Amino acid sequence: MSDPFSIAGQWFKGNLHVHTTASDGRMTPQETVASYAEHGYDFLSITDHEAVTETAGLDDKGMLLIPGIELGGGRTDLDSSYHMVAIGAKGPMEYDTQWSAQKLIDYGTENAEFVFMAHPYWLSLTLADMIDLDGCIGLEVYNTFCHHDVGRGESGELWDDLLARDKRMLGFAVDDAHGAELDAWIGYIMVKAPACEYDDIIEAIKAGSFYSSNGPTISNIKREGDRLLVECSPCQEVCAVCPAPGLGGTNWRTEQKPPLTEIELQLFEGSDPVRIECIDAEGNKAWSNPMWLPD
């Protein structure tokens, strides 16, 4: 995976999951684009249910618009359907909701740039539902709509369960906005790329050159010996989350008092992979992608 903190480029803010009046959202595609542009986003993917919403005729308001779709289908262990977000749709996408999860991933990967799993906690997805699927590049570690609607927005535990079994999944924070009151302009990714151009953003995301957030900013993560140095916007807690059993570390080990902006975290034998969570005074979080540490 690419380390966004050690490569050249600029940071670009984007949301890869939002609905409009073309499915069950309340803002039109144009209103959606305008609202995200007004909130400082650099790129946006409209991902309506079951059909790719045409964006070519919209005023992009200076943002990069990436065609996308939310695919629903397959059956989980608890008899729910899977939802998946396919980004970079190459044309209209027609599929069958009776297809298996693996067939949806394969179809999405072939007809778009990449696929990630939507709101796994809300759909009660388990390790058994995910472990045998191939080609899905990640999952939503945070979904604003699911947080505000049902309090089940965060899926870090399933992410770690998969990482601990060597499933190299990326973590995406998204809005999945359906309206404009509580579920918009909150969950986002920050991508490090040469420019905010389609190919650059797609390649950077696929390489893992981004972090996720619903508030805090991570400006640097650097390894020095057996320590990880993290620089972020003022936070109450900064954690090294290690998916391996019994490992990890929080800021308390360093005896630094919040607000924390530069933190050292101890790494242990076997702290691999490790990912960082930064939590601010309001409880908002930023999530790095997992890092596999060089020896």
The contact set with Zn ion (CB under 5 A) reads 70, 83, 118, 176
The least distance separating Zn ion from the CB of residue 41, rounded to whole angstroms, comes to 17
Backbone angles phi, psi at 105, to 5 degrees: -65, -45
Rounded Cα–Cα distance for residues 183 and 78 (Å): 27
Which residue is closest to Zn ion by CB? 83
> Of the two residues 187 and 249, which places its CB atom closer to Zn ion in the complex?
187
DSSP strand pairing (210-213 vs 237-241): unpaired
> Of the two residues 20 and 209, which places its CB atom closer to Zn ion in the complex?
20
Rounded Cα–Cα distance for residues 268 and 130 (Å): 28
DSSP strand pairing (68-73 vs 218-224): unpaired
> Of the two residues 48 and 277, which places its CB atom closer to Zn ion in the complex?
48
The least distance separating Zn ion from the CB of residue 85, rounded to whole angstroms, comes to 7
> Of the two residues 66 and 118, which places its CB atom closer to Zn ion in the complex?
118
The least distance separating Zn ion from the CB of residue 15, rounded to whole angstroms, comes to 11
The least distance separating Zn ion from the CB of residue 81, rounded to whole angstroms, comes to 9
> Of the two residues 118 and 133, which places its CB atom closer to Zn ion in the complex?
118
Helix (H) or strand (E) holding 204: helix 198-206
The least distance separating Zn ion from the CB of residue 69, rounded to whole angstroms, comes to 10
Strands annotated E in 125-200: 138-143, 170-174, 188-193
For every residue of 17-45, which 3-state class applies, written as one string?
A: CECCCCCCCCCCHHHHHHHHHHCCCCEEC
The least distance separating Zn ion from the CB of residue 119, rounded to whole angstroms, comes to 6
Question: Do 88 and 114 contact (CB within 8 A), yes or no?
Answer: yes
> Of the two residues 176 and 277, which places its CB atom closer to Zn ion in the complex?
176
